[in-house]
Every structure is written in structure tokens, then in C-alpha cells.
């Protein structure tokens, strides 16, 4: 029997006593709400659940077929996937509904279970989204949006209740890929302004400032993903006649990840009560390409070609209703020219939730929740 149920069943006698019990019940329910974890998502298209649907200028959208072909009712939702993405699966693992897109909630009270600020094309650096896709919600803007949600939580739960809620909540933060796509694109402006190492340093330092802002707003349990082996995406592979990965962008993605891990360790030492779980997306991707049977999975027979698209490696165009898509999505690692299939998103979210230190350091999400 729960505490608040006991409060009701133990009530009896006078009207005053009953009123006191009802008041105690309300307090206990509010305390339970405040203490329950939520999932707040900040990121890019890997975890976008529909924010870009509301961006009028963005050309990074997925709210049309064939996206969502394996989603319930074959519905395209704005997820860059044939079905659900890693944010969906991680929420399920924690026992929560998917955190809804922030821009779908304008004027409404944010749910106590979390909110997603993720935006396709977004980067750590403010200019990234504009360079690539005309409009995206940068990490800084996503943090600003979280500030609005934070203030509403304080109003709803009270300062101590909001603090308890946020300290138990997971902050899933997925950024960095688009910054590197912007750097290595043909005619890149930022590549003329910074060496790759200067760019790494700028990304890491900008990220740290914004994570400190989240910490100041109550975030204590951070789940941060590194940049994957993005030189192995179909859009990068198609530039090599052999279809092999682009070495340079992979090299600098890995160098950035090294700086990111060092930054997270330093931030933890500077921030009392903060803990983090880091997902080695790069290592998990390379292992999937080379040794997918180690996951107990033997069906990934296509590691280079996108399932949905047109042309060389199905990567000459994004996945649109005019493209073709493969009949068996489970044997493809990539859904389109950039993004993984639903089955890969599920696999990686499993690793994030309860994977070993091969890919999750210093802890996984299951362990982070218990801290």
C-alpha cells in the first residue's frame, strides 16, 4: 500500500481530520510526482520527434512518406527514421512515454514526464543549422527553451519540488554530427576560419558553457553521446569510388570525442552532485560494421547503402515519397543518407540503458538512475 493510500484509509472521525487527510494526500501525490524521473532531450535529428515540423524555413524535415513506414499506422511524424528513434526507445526502457516535441506544446503545460527540444540539423555551434538546412534549433536555443520549461516546473511543483524532480531526471544530449558535416562540406566557411583542432576546441568549450547552464537549472544526470563514425554514412561513402568510409571526418570526430570525454570528467569534478553517462557512438558503430554478430544479430547484411533514397548507395537524395525503400529494413544499418534504421536505434538505446563499459562510461543509464 502506498503512503498516500494509507493516508486516506487511516482517516476517520471529524470533518477537520478528513480535511487534514485529504491535504496530506495531495501533498504526498505532489511529492511523488516531483520525485519521479523524466527524460529531457536536447539534440539533433537522431532524436528529433517532430520539432522541425514547426520550423517554416527548415529543409530538414521528415513529416512525409516514406519516413514512418514502420511507425504505428505507418505515420510520418517528423522522425528521421522508418519507425521510432533512440529517444523513443530510451523512454520506454525507463518506463516513460516519449517526451513530446517542445514546439508542439506552445501554450500548454509541459508534461511532468519530460520534453524534447531536439531539432534536425541542429549543432553545438549556433551557425551550424543555418549553414546546412537554413533553420534548426541550436543547442543554445534548446537550453533557452528548457529554461522556460524549468520556470513552469517551479511554478507547478514549487522550488524544492522542481529541484527534486530535475535531480532525478535524465537529460539525453545528442550533438556534434552536424557541426562536422558543416565543417567538411564543400565550400565550408568555418573550415576557412578554423583548423580542425581549433574547431574541436570551440565545440567542446561551447558545449561546456551550455552544460553548466543546464547544471545551474537543476540538471544532475546527463547522458551525452559522442559523435559516431559519420564518415561511414551513405552520403559520405558515396564520394569514394570503393564505397569506403571517409577517413578525415571520422578522424576528427574521434578527436572531438576525446575532448568531449575529458570535458565531461572535468565538469563533473567542478559540479557537486552532477553525474554523467557517456555513450561511445563511434565505437558502437564501428563494432556494428565489423562484428554485428557480437550483438547476437546476424541480419545486417547491408552496411553501406541507405534503405530509402535514390542513386549511388541510395544517397543522392534524402528519403522522400518519390524515393524507393528496401523491403527489409532490418538488414540495413542506414535508413537514409544520414540516419540509422529503427532496429539500429533500438540496439543503441539498449546499450545506452544497460550496456557494459565497452561503450558506456563511467556508468549506463540504469546505473545513473540509481545514483
pLDDT at 3: 40
- 137 phi and psi angles, rounded to 5 deg: -95, 105
Instruction: Answer yes or no: 44 catalytic.
Output: no
Please identify which of the residues 119, 332, 339, 343 carries the catalytic annotation. Answer: 339
Establish whether 116 is a catalytic residue. no
| Cα-based distances in Å from 189 to 194, 239, 357 | 9, 20, 38
From the list 44, 48, 179, 336, the catalytic residue is 336
d(CA 255, CA 195): 13
Q: Closest Cα to residue 43, out of 205, 223, 313?
A: 223
CA–CA gap between residue 14 and residue 194 (Å, rounded): 75
The candidate with the shortest Cα–Cα distance to 227, out of 288, 275, 179, is 179
> Active site includes 339?
yes
**Residue 31 has what pLDDT?**
46
Give the whole-angstrom CA distance, residue 127 versus residue 179.
Answer: 9
Amino acid 20: pLDDT: 52
CA-atom Rg of the chain in angstroms: 22
- 44, 45, 58, 116: the catalytic one is 45
Pairing of strands 308-309, 360-361: unpaired
Query: Can you give the pLDDT at residue 292?
Result: 78
Counting as low any pLDDT under 50, the low residues of the chain are 1-10, 21-34
pTM over 0.85: yes
Distance CA 256, CA 274 (A): 22
User: What pLDDT, on the 0 to 100 scale, is given for residue 273?
Assistant: 98
Q: What's the pLDDT score for residue 293?
A: 76
Amino acid at each position: 500500500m502506498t503512503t498516500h493510500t494509507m493516508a486516506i484509509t487511516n482517516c476517520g472521525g471529524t470533518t477537520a481530520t478528513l480535511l487534514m487527510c485529504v491535504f496530506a494526500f495531495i501533498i504526498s501525490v505532489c511529492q511523488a510526482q516531483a520525485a519521479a524521473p523524466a527524460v529531457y532531450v536536447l539534440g539533433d535529428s537522431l532524436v528529433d520527434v517532430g520539432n522541425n515540423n514547426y520550423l517554416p524555413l527548415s529543409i530538414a524535415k521528415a513529416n512525409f512518406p516514406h519516413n514512418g513506414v514502420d511507425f504505428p499506422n505507418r505515420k510520418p511524424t517528423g522522425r528521421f527514421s522508418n519507425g521510432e528513434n533512440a529517444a523513443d526507445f530510451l523512454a520506454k526502457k525507463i518506463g516513460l512515454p516519449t517526451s513530446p516535441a517542445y514546439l508542439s506544446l506552445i501554450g500548454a503545460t509541459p508534461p511532468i514526464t519530460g520534453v524534447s527540444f531536439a531539432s534536425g540539423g541542429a549543432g553545438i555551434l549556433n551557425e551550424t543549422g543555418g549553414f546546412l538546412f537554413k533553420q534548426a534549433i541550436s543547442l543554445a536555443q534548446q537550453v533557452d527553451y528548457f529554461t522556460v520549461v524549468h520556470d513552469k516546473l517551479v511554478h507547478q511543483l514549487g522550488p524544492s519540488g522542481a529541484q527534486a524532480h530535475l535531480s532525478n531526471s535524465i537529460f539525453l544530449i545528442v550533438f556534434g554530427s552536424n557541426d562536422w558535416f558543416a565543417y567538411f562540406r564543400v565550400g565550408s566557411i568555418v573550415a576557412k576560419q578554423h583548423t580542425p583542432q581549433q574547431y574541436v576546441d570551440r565545440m567542446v568549450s561551447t558545449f561546456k558553457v551550455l552544460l553548466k547552464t543546464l547544471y545551474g537549472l537543476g540538471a544532475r544526470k546527463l547522458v551525452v553521446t559522442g559523435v559516431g563514425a559519420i564518415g561511414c554514412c551513405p552520403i559520405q561513402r558515396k564520394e569514394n569510388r570503393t564505397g569506403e568510409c571517409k577517413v578525415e571526418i571520422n578522424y576528427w570526430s574521434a578527436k572531438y570525442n576525446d575532448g568531449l570525454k575529458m570535458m565531461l570528467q572535468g565538469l563533473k569534478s567542478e559540479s557537486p552532485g552532477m553525474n554523467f553517462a557517456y555513450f561511445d557512438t563511434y565505437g558502437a558503430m564501428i563494432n556494428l560494421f565489423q562484428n554485428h554478430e557480437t550483438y547476437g544479430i546476424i541480419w545486417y547484411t547491408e552496411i553501406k547503402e541507405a534503405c530509402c533514397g535514390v542513386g549511388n548507395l541510395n544517397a543522392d537524395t534524402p528519403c522522400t515519397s518519390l524515393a524507393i525503400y528496401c523491403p527489409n529494413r532490418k538488414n540495413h544499418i542506414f535508413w537514409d543518407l544520414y540516419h540509422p534504421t529503427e532496429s539500429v536505434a533500438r540496439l543503441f538505446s539498449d546499450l545506452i540503458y544497460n550496456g557494459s563499459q565497452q561503450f558506456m562510461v563511467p556508468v549506463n543509464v540504469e546505473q545513473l538512475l540509481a545514483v
